[in-house]
Chains A and B, each alone.
Chain A
Amino acid sequence: MSFGHKHILGMDQLSADDITRILDTADSFKEISAREIKKVPTLRGKTIINIFFEASTRTRASFEIAEKRLSADTLNISASTSALVKGETLEDTARNLEAMHPDIIVMRHGHSGAPHYLAERCNFSVINAGDGAHEHPTQALLDLMTIRDKKGTIGGLTVAIVGDIAHSRVARSNIIALNTMGARVRLAGPRTLLPTGADRLGAEVFTDIKGALDGADVVMMLRIQQERQGSPLLPSNREYSRFFGLNPDNLQRAKEDAIVMHPGPMNRGVEIASSVADGPRNVILDQVENGVAVRMALLYLISGGEKMAE
């Protein structure tokens, strides 16, 4: 059965069956990463370009490792260092990329919809590695994989997402994906960080972290961007951490076996207390590991892979 998706632009395009297939495939790729020789020839001869218009160490490294383990030829272009994209229009960038005949473009961009622009106009596959405040589908998939690993299932769980929902592509993608998989989603944050129509996203909305944490199976903390502090949106990190930070006290409201997630990098002492970040419920490093496996699975599936290599 072919995967049926040429691009991965957002979680809104993936069904529960698609997601399960990606996670199952990722499970088998995870085993490769545990081998002594961590490389399979699956994508030999394929060219993948990682083009990042925003700095990102974590996501880019994760994609690069995934691509190398699948033996693809990879090239990294970052907007800050490359003349290719400096001051150039997205249309010209698209044309230049197309002239290189890549099979897959992995793209991170500060403007929502930029990967969709490429996907509409070019022949290669596009994987959205985060666009503006819109979506970050591979982050949602690695989060789902981590939840499934730890909890055995996703459907029926209660997941609290806490923080800057309004500006978070991680939150958008997770809310959609968790709903698709049948989880109950809760959102919490000050009203200035909740998006318009938050109650229509398929989530219960709290302006109080305690209510959101009550009986939760999964707690997903979002990063507070430094520039929020002192903006009209947020008076101070100090006050934020008092009312919306995760600490050992309020974490007790969640289920005893609740896991704590964070897309990283963490602001210790702001959205998450160090003792929680270093505590036993934290699965942040599992998220990083699963990130590679999920990205391998996606690259494999959109390349038309039907059966697992080896």
Chain B
Amino acid sequence: MKLLIKGGRLLDPANGIDDQLDLLIEEGIVVAVGVGLNEDDAHILDVSNRLVVPGLIDIHVHLREPGYEYKEDVLSGTRAAVAGGFTSVACMPNTDPVNDNKTVTSYILQKAAEAGLANVFPVGAISKGLKGESLSEMGELGEAGCVAMSDDGRPVRDGEIMRRALEYASTFGLPVISHAEDLSLVSGGVMNDSFVATELGLKGIPWVAEDAMVARDVMLAEFTGARLHIAHVSTRGAVEIIRAAQKRGVMVTAEVTPHHFTLTDEAVRGYDTNAKMNPPLRSADDLAAIREGLADGTIGVIATDHAPHHRDEKNVEFNIALNGIVGLETALPLTLRLVDEGVLTLAEAIDRLSSGPARALGLHRGQLTAGHVADITVIDLDARWTLNAAQLQSKSKNTPFDGWSFKGAVSHTLVAGKLVFDRLEGRESIV
């Protein structure tokens, strides 16, 4: 079966392409890219006035399966993914049981195949049981399909374990993703350590808790020569440490979440538990530094840290609410706001959501020249819509962006040439 995607503007940042170009797809692979393509026996997807980009890739999501299916499962999570324009997601191993062995990895991949929506790339645990004590069997995890190693949700406290994790993972060509925080400096904090925390009477998490751990891990990456990816950067200091390391040639990449480049700790006022995350929302100065880092490429990846939680886990006192928000269905519109504000060009924005993440984890995706998998996101840049959290595809509705108005929406999502989301049949919240 052939599919011709016709009439759109193709933006493929990795190849410097931004033009009126059609795409011919056969057997899930892009076979031709050109002006005014025609193919008699192909189905035609008319994407006039639409932007066609490499399928978006989110390398930091929590799909919660196995173990926490009441928050999310692979099916609902990948539904949310494709509704948000993501054709691929990398899911973190803090499930129950933990994804620290090939059985769990295979289980997740089987669920993803059954769902048949987005590609799911599991991330394996650095340490057995996420305990930070002994390394998981990374070679076998890699064989089973894990694309990176992380203890996300908690830092690897012990420096020796982190050093050996970097060395051992690099043996198998796997990058290590660091959730960087010094827990002794977090010391029970629940939001950014700032004047807002003082006014609200909440215990703060100082920026140095993040910077200190980013510095250690970047130095360990330099020392071992291994590939390191820093998850959810939230501080100015972390951006500067990473930038300086990249200049020295250290193999370190970094991601930022849409909430960290959109909101500051002011959002916590009123004790809104949907403004409670780890790392916490930071100051306006940190936000400015993160945006600079995104623009100059120090931060090459936008990732959501999609963290579904049940209503009952958020509808409590701020101190005891769980950390995190859902992000898959708001990442693209929040990123497009950066384009509107002149922080990023459209090509940079799409790069940070597709080719950038593919590079960070070494995935052979994120571009649309002939021979590549036809993972494609079609965007209507002019669509105006208002988010109604109740209508999210995710099982959980924990978002601080409920009621926000956006410009720009996903119109079609295709995975390996197969249409998996069509906005016209999708969310009713899009008007």
Report chain A residues within 8 Å CB of B319. 111-112, 132
Report chain B residues within 8 Å CB of A109. 317
- Contact among B194, B202, B315, B316 with A112 in the assembled complex (CB-CB below 8 Å): B202
**Is B342 interfacial (CB 8 A cutoff)?**
no
For A, the interface residue count at a CB cutoff of 8 angstroms equals: 24
Report chain A residues within 8 Å CB of B320. 111
- Contact among A117, A134, A197 with B195 in the assembled complex (CB-CB below 8 Å): A197
How far does the alpha carbon of A195 sit from the alpha carbon of B201 in the complex, in Å? 9
Report chain A residues within 8 Å CB of B113. none
How far does the alpha carbon of A90 sit from the alpha carbon of B320 in the complex, in Å? 11
**Is A198 interfacial (CB 8 A cutoff)?**
yes
Interface residues of A in 73-128 (CB under 8 A from B): 89-91, 109, 111-114, 116-117
- With A112-B271, A117-B271 as known contacts, state yes or no: A133 contacts B316, CB within 8 Å: no
Cβ-closest chain B residue relative to A201? B198
Pair B197/A134 contact, Cβ less than 8 Å = no
**Is B284 interfacial (CB 8 A cutoff)?**
no
How far does the alpha carbon of A116 sit from the alpha carbon of B271 in the complex, in Å? 8
How far does the alpha carbon of A112 sit from the alpha carbon of B193 in the complex, in Å? 15
**Is B318 interfacial (CB 8 A cutoff)?**
yes
- Contact among B201, B204, B270 with A132 in the assembled complex (CB-CB below 8 Å): B201
Pair A196/B193 contact, Cβ less than 8 Å = yes
Report chain A residues within 8 Å CB of B202. 112-113, 132-134
Cβ-closest chain B residue relative to A136? B201
Pair A116/B270 contact, Cβ less than 8 Å = yes
**Is A295 interfacial (CB 8 A cutoff)?**
no
**Is A172 interfacial (CB 8 A cutoff)?**
yes
Pair A113/B317 contact, Cβ less than 8 Å = yes
How far does the alpha carbon of A65 sit from the alpha carbon of B193 in the complex, in Å? 39
Cβ-closest chain B residue relative to A114? B317
Pair B197/A196 contact, Cβ less than 8 Å = yes
A207 to chain B, nearest CB (A): 17
How far does the alpha carbon of A169 sit from the alpha carbon of B199 in the complex, in Å? 10
- With A89-B312, A91-B316 as known contacts, state yes or no: A112 contacts B200, CB within 8 Å: yes
Q: How large is the interface on B (under 10, 10 to 19, 20 to 34, 35 or more residues)?
A: 20 to 34
Cβ-closest chain B residue relative to A131? B201
How far does the alpha carbon of A89 sit from the alpha carbon of B200 in the complex, in Å? 21
A29 to chain B, nearest CB (A): 29
Report chain B residues within 8 Å CB of A307. none
- With A89-B312, A90-B316, A117-B317 as known contacts, state yes or no: A112 contacts B198, CB within 8 Å: no
Pair A197/B200 contact, Cβ less than 8 Å = no
Report chain B residues within 8 Å CB of A113. 200-202, 271, 317-318
Report chain A residues within 8 Å CB of B315. 89, 91
**Is A67 interfacial (CB 8 A cutoff)?**
no
**Is A164 interfacial (CB 8 A cutoff)?**
no
Report chain B residues within 8 Å CB of A134. 200-202
- With A90-B316, A116-B270, A117-B317 as known contacts, state yes or no: A135 contacts B201, CB within 8 Å: yes
How far does the alpha carbon of A77 sit from the alpha carbon of B264 in the complex, in Å? 38
0/1 interface trace, chain B 228-246, chain A, CB 8 Å (1 if under): 0000000000000000000
How far does the alpha carbon of A304 sit from the alpha carbon of B315 in the complex, in Å? 31
Report chain B residues within 8 Å CB of A35. none
Report chain B residues within 8 Å CB of A201. 198
Interface residues of B in 275-320 (CB under 8 A from A): 312, 315-320
- Contact among A135, A172, A196 with B194 in the assembled complex (CB-CB below 8 Å): A196
How far does the alpha carbon of A246 sit from the alpha carbon of B299 in the complex, in Å? 52
Cβ-closest chain A residue relative to B194? A196
How far does the alpha carbon of A196 sit from the alpha carbon of B206 in the complex, in Å? 10
Pair B201/A197 contact, Cβ less than 8 Å = no
How far does the alpha carbon of A130 sit from the alpha carbon of B199 in the complex, in Å? 14
4 smallest beta-carbon distances between A and B, as pairs: A134-B201, A197-B195, A113-B271, A111-B317
Residues of B at under 8 Å CB distance from A? Answer: 193-195, 197-204, 270-271, 312, 315-320
Given contacts A111-B317, A113-B200, 12 further A-B contacts (CB under 8 A): A89-B312, A90-B317, A112-B201, A112-B319, A116-B271, A117-B271, A132-B202, A135-B201, A169-B201, A172-B199, A195-B197, A197-B194
Can you name 23 A-B residue pairings with CB atoms under 8 Å?
A89-B312, A89-B316, A90-B316, A111-B317, A111-B318, A112-B201, A112-B271, A112-B318, A116-B271, A131-B201, A132-B201, A132-B319, A133-B202, A133-B203, A134-B202, A135-B201, A166-B198, A169-B201, A172-B199, A172-B201, A196-B194, A196-B204, A201-B198
